Amino acid sequence: MTKHHILRVGNGNNFINSSPHGIWAVSSRWKTFLKYVEPGDKIWFVRSKQKGETQTGKIIAVADFVSKNERVVGPLIATTLTSDELGWDEKGGFCDIEIHYNNLFNLTDCNLFTGQKGQSTICDYDNIKEKMLVNLIVEYEYISKYSKITKKM
What is the chain's mean pLDDT, rounded? 91
In a domain, 151, yes or no: no
| Within-domain flag for 88 | yes
Residue at 88: amino acid letter: W
Count how many domains the chain has: 1
Residue 48 in any domain: the answer is yes
Cα dist. 78→40, 83, 131 in Å? 28, 11, 41
Question: What strands, in cross-sheet order, belong to the sheet with 97-106?
Answer: 23-26, 97-106, 58-70, 42-47, 4-8, 122-124
* pTM, to two decimals: 0.93
Domain, as residue range, for 8 = 4-146
In a domain, 152, yes or no: no
Query: 115 to each of 19, 44, 120, 131, 132, how far by Cα in Å?
Result: 24, 14, 13, 8, 6
Domain assignment of residue 153, yes or no: no
14 in any annotated domain: yes
CATH number of the CATH domain containing 101: 3.10.590
Mind listing the pLDDT tens digit for each residue in 11-23?
999 999 999 999 9
pLDDT digits (tens, 9 = 90+) for 133-146: 999 999 999 999 99
